[in-house]
Amino acid sequence: MGVMDITNFAHGEYLMLSLYASFWLFEFFHIDPYLSVLLVIPLMFLLGLLTEKFLIRPTIGKPMFIHIFVTLGLSVILQNLALLLWSGNFRTIQVPFATHTINFGDISISTPRLIIFMVTLTVAYLIHLFLNYTWMGKAIRATSQNRNSAQLMGININRVFMVTFALGTACLGIAGPLLMPIYYVYPTIGFQFVLVAFVAVVMGGLGSVKGAVLASMLIGIIETLSGYFLDPAMKQAIYFLLFILVLIFKPSGIFGEEGKVV
């Protein structure tokens, strides 16, 4: 979103596809979700490449509403395709370690959740390294700062967009299988996640990995705390409200650098 100035409203549906992928891999081939990561990542990366090439690329440089509604249309298609192919049932997998916990003194932590936490931090750190220390990472940052100058410097911005987009979907290829043991999957699950992701990204400051991680933690805290005081559904309303407030009063994000304005 920060790099390409594109909001992919179908991002949640890619998570849904990734969840289904690991679900079916488990159902048919009994591949452990933690193992299926290795298969789902390249799958999602490829899907990202194709989407970018055929659906996102043609919208770049056109009026802004075109990419919004192309990705919304894609989201509608994917949701209903999933409904048509796999029905609206909630599906889940039974693995022994889903309820496993690790005890630290009095505190017991769910192992799959701990794994998700660790992996997320690792991936965030890897993305950070990638963006700062590789040629492609630097090209991505340059493009996000100024598309035209980047192009003048000999950066193939089409390839940058393609890689950026595909990396985004590949990350969902990690998220899906990791979430599968403790979550369930149904066709419209993506939407729940995507709005929260937008909230996190905007709150964290566009294009800032560190910001997004910190903002996500903040959202987690808000969700848990407000869960005690309010109707569970209301907690969502709280961070949507926060989202609008951040957009309006601190468009560079709570943790974002100054001067980078939405």
Residue numbers at the binding site for another protein (CB under 8 A): 6-7, 55, 58-59, 62-70, 72-77, 79-81, 83-84, 88, 187, 191, 195, 198-199, 202, 231, 233-234, 236-237, 240-241, 243-244, 247-248, 251, 259, 262
Whether 11 contacts 168, CB under 8 Å: yes
Min separation Cβ 65 and another protein, Å: 5
- Residue 256 is given by DSSP the state S
What tokens were used for 219?
């959202």
CB of 107 to another protein, least distance (A): 31
Cα–Cα dist 168/166, whole Å? 5
115: phi then psi, degrees, rounded to nearest 5: -60, -45
Between 119 and 247, name the residue whose CB sits nearer to another protein: 247
Is-contact 220 204, C-beta < 8 A? no
What is the amino acid identity at position 194? V
Taken as a whole, the chain contains a residue count of: 262
Q: Which is nearer to another protein, 157 or 246 (CB)?
A: 246
DSSP-assigned letters across all residues of 91-142: B----GGGG-EEEETTEEEEHHHHHHHHHHHHHHHHHHHHHHHSHHHHHHHH
- Of residues 47, 29, 1, 9, the one with CA closest to residue 173: 47
In the bound state with another protein, the residue whose beta carbon lies nearer, of 18 and 51, is: 51
Shortest Å distance, C-beta 239 to another protein = 9
Q: Shortest distance, CB of residue 244 to another protein, whole angstroms? A: 5
CB of 168 to another protein, least distance (A): 16
Residue (175 or 246) nearer to another protein, CB:
246
Q: Which is nearer to another protein, 67 or 112 (CB)?
A: 67
CB of 161 vs another protein, minimal distance in Å: 16
Cα 45 to Cα 40, 90, 147, distances in angstroms: 8, 26, 23
Nearer Cβ to another protein (36/252) = 252
